[in-house]
Amino acid sequence: MAKDWYKEAVIYQIWPRSFKDGNGDGIGDLEGVLEKLDYIKSLGVTAIWFSPLYPSPQADYGYDIADYKNICPEYGDLELFKKVLDGAHERGMKVIMDLVVNHTSDEHPWFKESLKSKDNPYHDYYIWRRGKGKRPPNNWLSMFEGGAWEYNKGLDEYYLHVFAKKQPDLNMDNPKVREEVKSIMDFWLSMGVDGFREDVITFISKQDGLPNGFPLPIATGIEHYKHGPHLLEYLTEFRKDTLEKHDCFMVGESPLTGAKDALELTSGKDKVLDMLISFDHMQADCFMTDTVAVPFSLNRMRKAFDTWQEKLYGKAWNALYLENHDHPRIISRYGNEKFRKESGKMLATMCYMQCGTPFIYQGQEIGMVNNNLSSLSEFKDVVTFNNEKLFKKFGFSEEQYLKIANKTSRENARTPVQWDSSAYGGFSTTEPWFSVNPNYTEINVEEAEKDPDSILNYYRKLLKVRQNSELFLYGAFKDLLPKDEKIYCYERTLGTEKALIICSFSDTMCTFRTPGDYDLEKGELLLCNYPDAPAKAHICALRPYEARVYYYPKEK
């Protein structure tokens, strides 16, 4: 398998608004990031991915960009950004920017121009269409906010927005728009940035003629753009014209794509992306979207992981993640808050011992958990508001929806990072833009630093084990108990070198019998989330959410 820096990277995601406030206005910023670079480095991180830092009205917290070549004044300026970039590079960490080019903000100058008249040169930067009589051009619904079309009276046309109204979709079929994208990429790469996380990049090509979609409660029409006709062509153009000129890394966010799409986009010498951010394994406790919750199923989760591991091995590369700014906290979700430490460590072991590049989301490394807001008025996100309308339409009461939002909303991941036990969790000296989880007095970085048994210190140890081992970086993956309801057990192999990874998802004790001829007494225990790991050769008792990693060196 070809080696590459990104395959050996550990990527830490910063969602800037809630990471660390450096100037005391209650909003996270680059000053705050600068303060914490050493901390990030201390985890074993080798690259930072910044969620959008650009000027934005913040209708979707930065995923609605008003200027692609600048920094949001709330976060700093270009000069401060360069300081952060240099600071990261000096510490041996790369920097990856979020590239959001499926849509812009409606406050972007291009969109403002496009509103002026049908023959304005920017009009065709967006997807404008005449309605059908009094109705929109087709039946598409947005992911975030009712219909996907917004009417403009002056122009007597509708513009398409597959996300919020304030996020008009760019018309990627227009070659001028593609030139703009390349120019944005070039701007940041020339400054020294090392790559991009490309936001919903698989949505950029819409089916010609924009046909009606299969009716759904949200996102009707998605089959016509989730992997559109010109996707490969446009991504190839970006790669050839711009990206190839730099040693640049690209990870594409790709909702509703499977391992087959990953092979198309990320394998072979003409690959257009280095890896995909898949959603398959995030659907083990929900249907289609996080909000439609169903009980967690280990089998659903493992099937997703196993498929991506097996199909991509030797051909493409996996992004390994459990958290980001779009999902609730993983301990509350796939783990158990009552066994916060145990399940937090187990989930990290389960995910990051697989083959791929680990992505860690701010706060995950200290085991932050979901928040519990007492009223809907405390929420901040367009998705939460949209779902509120939908759930009400389906007859849910406000109280019932509040419960659902507390459990499933992505805002759970957006509370300020808990740095210490002082006021506001040490995130800011003033009241933050969004409430700090009240558990900050117990769960915070300072506390975790002091505790040798903390989730934080386990992450450090785990990453060290992984990063120093060809076996964990490049070894093959095999699920050894593909049907077990409680235990996820897999092996990694490289030649005759092996590791056995055992992860219990049970909240009670359970018995583990070794698959194949694995002998626990002969293995070297590399990791365990309990202080000891009693075992007989072929059997052991696993405590709640126990995780173990055994190592078997090369046979001589």
CB of 198 to ligand GLC, least distance (A): 10
The site partner of 60 among Ca ion, ligand GLC, none (C-beta below 5 to 8 Å per kind) is ligand GLC
x/- binding map, residues 418-457, to ligand GLC, per CB under 6 A?
----------------------------------------
Alpha helices, H only, 192-327: 231-241, 259-266, 298-312
The whole-angstrom separation of Cα 453 and Cα 139 is: 54
Q: Which CB, 23 or 70, lies closer to Ca ion?
A: 23
- Taking CB under 6 A as the criterion, the residue among 60, 194, 274, 388 binding ligand GLC is 60
The site partner of 237 among Ca ion, ligand GLC, none (C-beta below 5 to 8 Å per kind) is none
Task: Decide: 62 and 53 in contact? Cβ < 8 Å.
Answer: yes
In the annotation, is 199 catalytic? yes
SS3 58: coil
In the annotation, is 524 catalytic? no
Strand partners, 488: 503
The whole-angstrom separation of Cα 144 and Cα 526 is: 45
Q: How far is CA 32 from CA 79, 86, 225, 428, in A?
A: 15, 15, 38, 9
Q: Which residue stretch of 22-30, 37-45, 210-218, 479-487 sits at the interface with Ca ion (rule: CB under 5 A)? A: 22-30
User: DSSP secondary structure string, 454-518?
Assistant: SHHHHHHHHHHHHHT-HHHHH-EEEES-TT-SSEEEEEEEETTEEEEEEEE--SS-EEEE-STT-
Residue 326 found at the interface with ligand GLC (CB under 6 A) = yes
Residue 23 found at the interface with Ca ion (CB under 5 A) = yes
How are beta strands 47-50 and 11-14 bridged, if at all? parallel
Residue 29 found at the interface with Ca ion (CB under 5 A) = yes
- Taking CB under 5 A as the criterion, the residue among 9, 11, 27, 47 binding Ca ion is 27
Residue 194 CA, chain-centre distance (Å), reads 18
x/- binding map, residues 97-126, to ligand GLC, per CB under 6 A?
---x--------------------------
CB of 203 to ligand GLC, least distance (A): 9
Q: Which tokens in the block code for residue 356?
A: 């791929």
The site partner of 21 among ligand GLC, Ca ion, none (C-beta below 5 to 8 Å per kind) is Ca ion
Alpha-carbon torsion 33, 37, 41, 45, what sign? positive
SS3 410: helix
- Taking CB under 6 A as the criterion, the residue among 11, 84, 115, 200 binding ligand GLC is 200
Candidates 253, 290, 306, 546; catalytic one:
253
Residue 429 found at the interface with Ca ion (CB under 5 A) = no
Q: Which CB, 55 or 515, lies closer to Ca ion?
A: 55
Q: Which residues bind ligand GLC (CB under 6 A)?
A: 60, 63, 100, 163, 199-200, 253, 325-326
Catalytic residues: 199, 253
